[in-house]
Chain A
Amino acid sequence: MEPTYPNGGVNFCWRLQYLFSEPKRHDVVAVRFAGSQVMLLKRVVAREGEQVEFRNGKLYVDGKEIEEPYVRLPCNWNLPSRRVEKDRVYVVGDNRSMPIEGHHFGQTSKIRIIGAPLL
């Protein structure tokens, strides 16, 4: 999630954030990646039913380019369009300077979203 959050940094998670609401586009969320201890901080870029794609590093949702002021490092990603499945959200990190193959991103079940960072 660099440069928004430094790698290996410590943060606190507000677990009640999505108790009565749904994650929205641009929200930073904590995703339970493995077991009960391994979490990833990711940004929600699309919600269920939406078409998401990357063209020359730019994010497109339902064919419209989405402004992402938090992406400050150069990006040249290309990803064909795909629909976000039911009960899922599409999450991506802010650091897109690395090759697309090496970045953990994609659609994940809402159940895996355990909250939002406090700071």
Chain B
Amino acid sequence: MKIKYLLVGVLMVIIGIVLVVKVLPSEEKRVKKRFHLLSEWISKSPEENSFIMLQKMKDIGTLFLEPCELKAQNESLSGSYTRQEISAYAGSARSHFFELDFKFYDLHITFPEKVIAKVTLTARLIGKLKTGEQVDEIRELDCLLKKIDRKWFFNQIEVIEVLKK
């Protein structure tokens, strides 16, 4: 009888552990979620109205830490940006597109410190400009995110220069 209760107890503990692991998101999942949100908010459908556009612009800024550093081949883009500047820049860039699909692939996440996540990934932008021109760009990015109050924020984004002219 005792063995029966013991087995049931062990089984319940195992089920509890599995549930906790499955239900509670790991830090890696939390970081991936931030990329998913960024991808969703940057992307644009042809039916997007002004209200959604303004909301997305505002939302994009909330994913970043102030200031956020951007490093790119194009020196005019490199520098430190505030949330407002990032929102404004994203809004301006999106306004040139009729349709835009921005996705992240191959996310490789490491945690050099408990509150820092380093992510190497592939970013792909497929879109149609308002001028009718098709755009299909792929870049490798190195991103640094910092954890503040259980939330991850983009702190540094570097566009990797694979081919230096």
Task: Enumerate chain A interface residues (CB-CB to B < 8 A).
Answer: 31-38, 79, 91, 104-108, 112
Contacts and interface: CB of A to CB of B under 8 A. Distances in A.
A32 B165 CA distance: 17
B47 to A, nearest CB: 30
Contact of B163 (A35, A36, A79, A108): A108
A104 B138 CA distance: 11
A107 B164 contact: yes
A105 B105 contact: no
Contacts, number: 41
Given A35-B122, A38-B138, A108-B162, 13 more contacts: A34-B123, A34-B139, A34-B140, A34-B162, A36-B106, A38-B122, A38-B140, A104-B163, A105-B163, A106-B163, A106-B165, A107-B164, A112-B162
B121 interface: yes
Interface string B113-131: 0000000111100000000
A56 B89 CA distance: 38
Q: B120, B140, B162, B164 — which one has the most chain A CB atoms within 10 A of its CB?
A: B162
Nearest to A112: B162
A35 B160 CA distance: 11
A108 B123 CA distance: 19
A110 to B, nearest CB: 12
B79 to A, nearest CB: 23
A105 B165 contact: yes
A112 to B, nearest CB: 6
Contacts of A31: 162-163
A34 B122 contact: yes
A79 B164 CA distance: 13
Contacts of B162: 31-34, 108, 112
Contacts of A105: 163, 165
B58 to A, nearest CB: 30
Nearest to B105: A35
